[in-house]
Structure 1
Amino acid sequence: MTTTPLGFIDFDSLLDDEERMLRDAVADFGTRELAPHIGDWFENATLPAKELAPKLGDLGVLGMHLEGYGCAGTSAVAYGLACMEIEAIDSGLRSFVSVQGSLAMFAIHHWGSEEQKENYLPKMAAGEYIGCFGLTEPDAGSDPANMRTRAVRDGDEWILNGTKMWITNSPIADVAVVWAKTDDRGDGKPGYAGFILDKGDAGFTAPEIHRKLSLRASVTGEIVLDDCRLPDSRRLPGVSSLRGPLTCLNEARYGIIWGALGAARNALETAIEYTSTRQVFDRPLSSFQLTQAKLADMTVELDKSVLLALQIGRLKDAGKLSPHQVSVGKLNSTRVALEITRECRTLLGASGITLEYSPLRHANNLESVLTYEGTAEMHQLIIGKELTGEQAFR
């Protein structure tokens, strides 16, 4: 074997020294601190998030692309590379980092008051506080405008009622950013507001969701609000429309573009190594034409996808990235990664269904990654709208 999958495009030559250094630091952390345990975490459907968060904070990856308040302030490309290395271990781990930094922290950083930023962001960047982001509901996933969670003004306070579903980190979160529908803004349209909830607030509970077949090394739950009363100082003052949560979702989708390819790369590297040592008819499995055809096709798809991710990252760093371009990346990366991990599993045969090898674990996780932060179908429609000028959502 003369090269690695990304070696065909000399990917490292496209990065600067700082980007390579940050990527290598995250990869080394993953090898030392995460990889030896991920099989057990997945099998036992657990994640020692409280123990991992301070280590991730020390590494500097929590909110790493945000400026100030204890955040590292790295480039978008550097953040993407970190997501790739973390998801090369497991999608559940990258989800933890993304929810913390690109959803909960980003919402406060982008839409919060100065007091809110100073109060929450340094502790979240250090991993002292774990955050979650409550937008999705049992009956409002792809259509957040129809959320049923309501926030009613009562003097200087708000009363929140509703339920959020499939919320990463919620059962263990110290801080929850929750979105709710508010009274008419005066133009005949409803308003929307984001609120910061603290663990222990009266009327706020977060039961855990069990028996998952995907993202098992991730803590997932609900957010239940029952006459939860909050002061107006806990409302995010910077936005009163769906622009607030949708902007946050685009941040998280950007990380997925890179992260999913990390899972695909790891699965492909595993398949290459396995087929080179597995003997079939007195020959290495890698010596057969069908095996090489599969490996070649997967390498080409991975390399094309990584180049797309890098271009999207460069556009983001230049301040030129549009939401429909994020959709192109998220749709492509998740579909390609899922196809690669499934194909890699076939090359491992029966061994591929065990936790000794990563491809099927990655594939199970990517079934969720394909769907969350916008389903594949929704991203197709976002791209279609940009191409045709026609709204096909309704």
Structure 2
Amino acid sequence: MFTYYLELALRSFKRNKALTALMVLAIALGIGASMTTLTVLHVLSGDPLPGKSQTLFVPQLDPQNMENYRAGGEPPDQVTWIDGMNLLRSKRADHQVLMTAGTVAVQPSQSNLDPFYVDARYTTADFFGMFDVPLLFGHGWSAIDDDNKARVAVITRSLNDKLFGGKDSTGQMLQLGDSGLRIVGVLDRWRPNPHFYDLATGSYAESEDVFVPLTTARDLKLGRNGSMDCWGGHTEDHLETAPCTWLQLWVQLDSSDKAATYKQYLKHYSQEQMTLGRFVRPSNVRLRDLMGWLDYQSVVPSDVQLQTWLAFGFLLVCLVNTVGLMLAKFMRRAGELGVRRALGASKRSLFAQLLVESAVIGLGGGIGGLVLAFFGLWEVRQRPSSYATLAHLDMSMLLTTFLLALGASIVAGLLPAWRACQITPALQLKSN
């Protein structure tokens, strides 16, 4: 029966080409606009570590003085060196990472390459395993390397291609300014989206090119950047002792019980530091998981969310127009439908026939909308925004495009199909 209804729909399209084209165009415009913005929102609000994000947490403490104190306010996003090291060495979590951002000058050994600067990440050993970082060659360093301030480094695949032609460079020396570090690992392609572990360097920034043990970076006085907040008139001259928050701390807690226990530990630690005189504010701790952290930081730009709502509003307008066009189209076929009723066709079969026709129109609109969405995403990628290069249509959004087009067209066809089925056959036969 479906094949018969499909054949009737194609015949109807041939008789009313202009009207059919208008309906397909209306749906295509609405689908194209909504799927462009929805794809961008989907890309920006995704889970950077599916299956593991619920076990990763950001501990927050409040070591600041009483200046600008507000009861119930949020503690700093980052931690001081003293607190970071205390929490790191306590080993109360399954894994923990303490880190900050930097910039280093690479001195290539090749004569045809000039020195250049790259972004760096100064971190501790658990970084690679905790964040599921893929390695092309070699491995990360160990906690012993952290303690010994080992002169080791991990580089990205792109930097390895530039310096060593893509060959396994483990064991080779990487010259950073006046210091030589032995390469122990090379990352495979890796760009978490968003750049969750350090949002201060850019919510959708690319991965750093060089990874160095945090203690080594401090020992070699490698260039540091990123956000920092000091109080009490102190500056960043002696960051290991200064009252400044500048380090990102992440912990892995593999169960909800462990998360509850760790939060209780944070409260005890804060109270202990108050007793020692380091903390003066009342105990104020937070422990958000990865997705909760992204939500707290409002990572998804508000303009993208607004554009998505506006695009779906435009889709609604397109559907309203499609309803009017379908109603006009179906009512013009009152005679044909009346004859089918007189020959024994039920209202249900007529209703199904017209919905199949609506679905075919939706399929055509989906194809057109997909083309427009590809063009819209290409336009997004031309923008200077940090997230622009991420705007691509994946398989799930491709399927969503067609499902949305089919669903929208069928919904738009419900009223016109129902109205057309109410035609009295006798009146139509008499008029003919």
- TM class by shorter chain equals under 0.3
TM-score, normalised with respect to structure 2: 0.22
**Computing the radius of gyration over CA atoms, which structure comes out larger, 1 or 2?**
2
**Higher RCO, 1 or 2 (CA under 8 Å, sep at least 6)?**
2
TM-score, normalised with respect to structure 1: 0.23
